[in-house]
Structure 1
Amino acid sequence: MKNILILLFALFAVALKADDRTVPGRTLSVTPQNALIHLPEFRKRSYKVFIQDEKGIWQPIEARNALVSSFSKHPQIWNDWENQKLLRDTMSYALFVRDFAKNVKVRVEPCFRFRNVEIRPVSYGIDYKRVKGGIEFELTDASQKVSVEFDGDRAENLFLFPDLPDVDKPAQDVPDVLYYGVGQHDAGRIVMKSNQTLYLDEGAFVYGYVVGKGIENVRIAGRGILCGAKETHCDERRTQLINFEHCRNVEISGVTLIDSPAWTIRLKNSQDLLVDNVKQISWILNSDGLDVCNSREVRVRNCFFRNYDDCITIKNQELAKMGCEDVLVENCVGWTDCANVFLVGPECGTSREPRTNYIRNVTFRNCIVLETPALYDSKEGDDGWRGGCAAINARVGIYEGLGGGGRMSDILFENIQIENLYGGRPIAVEIVSDGTDTGSLSGVVFRNITFTGDKYLPAQVRGVSREFPLQNVTFDNVVFNGRQIKKADCRKYLFVNPYIENLQFK
């Protein structure tokens, strides 16, 4: 018996020591230290997931681990500069592809006892039934990306990401296709050129990051996973997971993005951009889901983001080649653990660049907010815009090195559903200044916004001064817990300071 145990231990040690395989031009290697500390897939799995095939047989699908940082559990933590990842939470996610010719039956078996289950977004109306060891439910459409939460646990929950087959899948042997098939790949830095497609096929798990500068007609697509877990997270070398600058006609669609060291997707000084059906989970400070910087003609749709930082933010940074305009975000689901879900700002341009210092014509439509944190407990605290579901923050002045003096106008939030939060502000709009610059924010509309919940901070609308008021803000059919906000009783739901011009309620 002793010899058998020694043999088993030796085999286990060999398995941990290295997993070295090669693919053309690439080597895969996992060390024990990386496996145990940096790669969450080596942590204990919490869920088993099955889907029923055409013959009624339950087929297992892989439930992978991903690191997250729940602010409610770790309010003192902003970053992990030693890159240990030991104080993080481990959630799970499962991907599968079906044609959805009929409803897909799903079974989830958690590796723990439970009493209650919630499947969100609640607006999808997905019911479940208890079965031995777990629950069963049906998904009617591939657009139903959901969070399965046992006993109210939003830190270590399960995401399900169904997809349709990719009808635009390219051939593998085409010269302009960078193809990654089933299995694990250590790609490192992937540099794209004009007219290329980077394709991550179903079952591909690619460690690396993507850059593209001064190129056009490029596409990142597939049903695979791009993961930044092996990249530096804790110093100036950390990079965006996907970064396109000075580009035209860029598409990012279908892929799942995990553990970005910094901003997950940055699109800067670019135009004619599409981000479609992208799924994300990130845990670190600055792991914004999508940063649209000084870009135009941008379409973002059908995405599902969970980020520690802002999910989708529209910015105007310095050294810009163009302003930021004509941005449409629709049919997206957002979840932030320590920031904002849908945000315009805080970088909004500088008066030193008057030809490009604007953000305008931005629309968020038909979107769902699953979570924002309760970062502050006062009605008028510092950085009261943080933790906003639908948020606008205009930096007027040279504030914290972000620059200021930009012009922001014509911003619409429409048909936004905000689900029961553990905290945060349903709406937050403000201008911040240090008094050294000028700028403006006007033409903001919140239309058909619904919020349901009892754990939240009051909405907030603040101008900075009489010299820099917030102008022309409209609340059109904004409903909190079944009551429409009207002018007569708006202060029950909103903090409004004196520096607002033309605040309307419809």
Structure 2
Amino acid sequence: MNYKVYVNGKSTNICTAKVFPMPYNEVQEVEYTSFQMSQPVDLRIESEALLENVIIRPLSLGLEYTYREHEIVIHLERAAKFSVEINGTYYNNLLVFAEAMQYEEFDKYAGNVMYFERGIHTVDILTINKDNTIVYLEEGAFLNGKIDLDHCNNVTICGYGTISMEKYPLEVRNIYHRCVDAMHCTKVCIKDITITDSNDWSLRIFGCEDVLIDNVKIFGCRGNSDGIDICGSRNVLVQNVFTRVWDDSLVVKAFNTGDLENVTFKDSILWNDFARPIEVGVELRAEKVSNVRFENIDIIHSPTGYPLMGIHHGDRAEISDIHFENIRIENAPGAQLFDIRIRDSFWNRDKEKGNIKDIYFKNIHYIGNPGSDLLLSRSRLQGLSEASAIHNIFFENINILGKIAGNERECGLSVMEYVENVVFCSDEQTERMNLLETGIEILDDFVLTDNGSYKGRVRVNINNTGEKDQLTAFWLQISPAHMGAYKREAERLAIKAGERKCFDYDVSLPPGKYVIAIQSHDANVSYAWKFLQLDWILWEGRELEKATELEFINYYNIRTKGLKATICKGELVLQSDILKDEKNSLVLYTAQPVERREEEVVFSVEETDFGVVPAVISGKHELEPAPQLRCPLEITLVFKNEPKVKEIKKIVLDGGGNGIISIPLTDLGLTTETKHFWMEIEAKTEEVSKYRYPYTMFHSVTPTTSAHMFANVVITTDTVMNR
């Protein structure tokens, strides 16, 4: 344990739960403590690590605390939930759940009570189908399994105990899924419990009415480990909850169980290790989804660039009267504030597509870490057609790092097709943003040099569109990370109101696909990017000694000697020191080129998952950042056109020998006449086996299913190139 906790001098328990934090190489454990209080208390926390600094989130609590060396002292006036984070990171944090005193006179022997005492219980699937039932989990009770509420009325699940599905692997998800599942019930109360490690959604309300979810704590570490999903239900109140989940936290959906109406989420704290904190969609199969409110919510961590408040629609429902009010956002580098979009996807079933109208965002505060680690991604509004459009979107008091974004440009909002009546208003007492518009252009085309890399010149344009002179800084960022040579240091500048400045960069890059972007800690600087594709030229008949050697480099800047390649007599010839070790292997992935289709993914790399750079898709008119998406799997599911080639051919080359291997082009699914194909190469070495993503030369994260990052290979001759 990293911590010991004392409440008014008395030691309290430390528990653990599984979480899956970025960069997703391993599941980890987070420590938390829970205790009850009926009056102010002093909390003393002993830390194993020496304390250099401490931050307590959410910042809105404004808790009083002091710290020195290995001790933190916090004064609590009232019950609260918060994260104690030390030494500039949220890893190895401590979560504190100070609970209000309850259950003093609970009758555990009543006939309608299912009472679980302190200790471990295995229930597998506990089905409640009788009215007026109470399931009570005493503090310290730990249930292995799940609870289903099925067609019953006036049912309560309560107590300070825990329900967990940690013993139920993914393989049994078809039976053991959704830790707490209320189906077609009325008058349901779920309060005070803790849910950990659910195998699928943690808590689902499905086709229910008159539901209260209060003071529930949820930890999730698996894909699809949503926090709370309200599906096709009515008159639901979710309040005082805490979530730390890998997938979405608070979700609204509908699955043909009637209209969804009168749903409120409020007074809650959200932490998303991967996906979205607040989401309406994707499945919205009802006639109407209306009167949904998200109020007084703190998003303390959302580090992967996903939309913080999203409405994603592809079914028949009319979505209306959705309110986001008093939302405070802390550590969410590179995120989209808002994303509202109507599109078909893997999850949608209705042929008829609905519309979205009357959406309200009020008092939205982007606080940052505090401050901005990365620029926010552009927000987006995008309809599907005249019949499936977006109408009446209201933004009031959108505060970004203490300044008001008073229009679409200042908010970084892209208003796309089939969107009508976007309105901004604000409190005139707050200072407006002083927008610095930026752009990137390729001044000199990238030219292949004798050493096999490309050289070109990139220009960054900055235009001060505001009314004030400004001191700022920015830097050029090229993804994938650690590739090529260019000036990476920040550029500091003073720029007067109305002034325009240019900065030129000499850039050298190996073959591959890249996004060149502008980054800054200053939210007044607008985000800009440019996609670049550089072909891999293979000279037919060239000797290996004269071929260019390309390096393997991954997100962690682990580098190995790469390989040389040439074409000789209808064979691909490779030379690599990696192949000299019999423990190593190379995997070749090849595909025939196809025409790019609308909304097809063009670019996504490992740091896309980490919020550093957006995925890029082929938009209706031009390339654009992919909306709502960071995960390569989700990109595949949403756009439904991966792999975008007829076949991805996979060849495994085992190590051992002199490190030179020849492979007939026909074994790669090519012909001897082929002059153009796509290829990716994966290096399997012991050094990188512990990492989540494959170690690929051109940075594909799912090369077996998706070819969008494959190198564009051109076979030519010295004679042709010299012409």
- Is the structural similarity TM-score above 0.5? yes
Q: CA deviation at 1:501?
A: 0.5
Q: Residue 490 of structure 1 aligns to a residue in which SS?
A: helix
**CA drift at 1:154:** 2.0
Higher relative contact order (CA 8 A, sep 6+): 1
Q: Which residue does 1:236 correspond to in 2? A: 174
Tell me how far apart the structure 1 counterparts of residues 358 and 127 of structure 2 sit (CA, whole Å). Answer: 40
Structure 2 CA distance, aligned partners of 1:269 and 1:168? Answer: 33
Q: For residue 141 of structure 2, what is the aligned residue in structure 1?
A: 204
Cα deviation code 1:260-293 (max 9, x no counterpart): 1111111111101110111111111111111111
Q: 1:254 to 1:175 in 2, by over 3 A?
A: same
Looking at structure 2, the residues matched to 215 and 121 of structure 1 have their Cα atoms a distance apart, in angstroms, of: 37
Match of 1:179 among 112, 115, 132: 115
CA distance in 2, matches of 1:138, 1:431: 47
Task: Confirm or deny: 8 A CA contact 2:261 2:292 kept in the other structure.
Answer: yes
| Residue of structure 2 in register with 1:442 after alignment | 357
Does the 8 Å CA contact 2:125/2:176 hold for their aligned counterparts?
no
Provide the residue aligned with 1:119 in structure 2. Answer: 56
Query: In 1, distance between residues paired with 2:410 and 2:351?
Result: 31
Return the alpha-carbon distance in structure 2 between the equivalents of residues 492 and 154 of structure 1: 28
Q: Does 2:374 correspond to 1:481? A: no
Q: Distance in 1 between matches of 2:418 and 2:410?
A: 15
Matched position secondary structure for 1:135? strand
Q: Which letter does structure 2 place at the counterpart of 1:223?
A: Y
5 Å-filtered alignment, 1:35-434, equals: 45-52=1-8, 58-71=9-22, 73-74=23-24, 87-100=26-39, 103-142=40-79, 144-167=80-103, 170-192=106-128, 193-234=130-171, 235-317=173-255, 320-349=256-285, 356-375=286-305, 387-395=306-314, 404-433=315-344
Residue matched to 2:383: 463
Report how many residues are paired.
414
Q: Which moved more, 1:359-368 or 1:493-502?
A: 493-502
The CA distance in 2 between the partners of 1:182 and 1:436, in whole Å, is 51
1:315 Cα deviation after fit: 0.2
2:367 equivalent in structure 1 = 452
Radius of gyration: which is bigger?
2
CA distance in 2, matches of 1:465, 1:256: 43
Partner of 1:36: none
TM-score normalised by length of structure 1: 0.78
| Residue number in structure 2 paired with 1:29 | none
Letter of the 1:389 counterpart: L
Whole-angstrom CA distance in 1 between matches of 2:355 and 2:283: 13
- 1:84 alignment partner in structure 2: none
Contact 1:197 1:219 in 2 (8 A): yes
AA matched with 2:177: T
- Give the direction of change, closer, same or farther, for the CA distance of 1:168–1:60 in structure 2 (3 Å limit): closer
Residues 169 and 447 of structure 1: is their aligned pair in 2 closer, same or farther, counting only changes over 3 Å?
A: farther
Task: Quote how far apart the aligned CAs of 1:147 are.
Answer: 0.4
Give 5+ residue unaligned stretches, structure 1. 1-44, 53-57, 78-86, 350-355, 376-386, 396-403
User: What's the counterpart of residue 80 of structure 1?
Assistant: none
The answer to whether the 8 A contact 2:51-2:67 is kept is no
For residues 207 and 387 of structure 2, the distance between their equivalents in structure 1, rounded to whole angstroms, comes to 31
Equivalents in 1 of 2:195, 2:82: separation in Å?
Answer: 16
1: CA distance between counterparts of 2:91 and 2:357? 37
Q: 1:360: how far off?
A: 0.8
**Offset of residue 474 of structure 1:** 0.5
Range moving further from structure 2, 249-258 or 458-467 = 458-467
Q: In 1, Cα distance between the equivalents of 2:103 and 2:206?
A: 29
Q: Which amino acid aligns with 1:188?
A: D
Given candidates 420, 425, 443, the residue that maps to 1:501 is: 420
How many Å separate the matches in 2 of 1:283 and 1:156? Answer: 15
Deviation at 1:167, TM superposition (A): 4.2
**CA deviation digits over 1:78-121, x for unaligned, max 9?**
xxxxxxxxx11221111101112xx2111222222331111000
Show CA shifts across 1:32-78 (max 9, x none).
xxxxxxxxxxxxx22211111xxxxx21111111111113x22xx7x
Compared with structure 1, are the counterparts of its residues 185 and 250 closer, same or farther at alpha carbon in structure 2 (3 Å cutoff)? same
Whether the 8 Å CA contact 1:69–1:155 is kept in 2: the answer is no
**Does structure 2 conserve the Cα–Cα contact (< 8 Å) formed by 1:418 and 1:426?**
no
Q: Conserved in 1, the CA contact under 8 Å of 2:377 and 2:412?
A: no
The C-alpha deviation readout for 1:105-155, integer Å capped at 9, x for no partner, is 11222222331111000111123222452211112211x200011123224
- Is this contact kept in 2: 1:89–1:156, CA < 8 A? no
In the alignment, residue 504 of structure 1 is paired with which amino acid? V
Distance in 1 (CA, whole Å) between partners of 2:206 and 2:330 is 31
Q: Contact conserved, 1:169 with 1:222, CA < 8 A, in 2?
A: no
8 Å contact kept, 1:128–1:137: yes
Distance 1:426 1:63 in 2: 35
1:286 partner SS = coil
Distance (Å, rounded) in 1 between the aligned partners of 2:418 and 2:384: 6
Tell me the distance in 2 between the aligned counterparts of 1:115 and 1:96: 27
Cα distance, 1:490 vs structure 2: 2.8
Alignment deviations for residues 192-237 of structure 1 (CA, whole Å, 9 cap, x no partner): 1221100011222222210011111100011122222112334433
- Unaligned regions of 5+ residues in structure 2, if any? 426-723
* 1:360 counterpart letter in structure 2: S
Partner of 1:10: none
- Percent identity reads 29
TM-score, structure 2 as length reference: 0.55
Does the 8 Å CA contact 1:372/1:423 hold for their aligned counterparts?
Answer: no
| Distance in 2, Cα, partners of 1:337 & 1:493 | 24
Distance 1:406 1:168, change over 3 A: farther
Deviation at 1:253, TM superposition (A): 0.6
Local SS of the residue matching 2:175: coil
State the SS of the aligned residue for 1:433: coil
User: Could you say if the C-alpha distance between residues 473 and 492 of structure 1 is closer, same or farther in structure 2, counting changes exceeding 3 Å?
Assistant: closer
Q: Tell me if the contact between 1:219 and 1:252 (Cα under 8 Å) persists in the aligned partners.
A: yes
- TM-aligned CA distance change 1:245 to 1:90, over 3 Å: same
> Would you say the 8 A contact 2:34–2:96 is kept in 1?
yes
Does 193-202 or 183-192 show the bigger shift?
A: 183-192
Q: What secondary structure does 2:331 align onto?
A: coil
Letter in 2 for 1:323: D
Q: Is the alpha carbon distance of 1:168 and 1:272 closer, same or farther for their aligned partners in structure 2, counting shifts above 3 Å?
A: farther
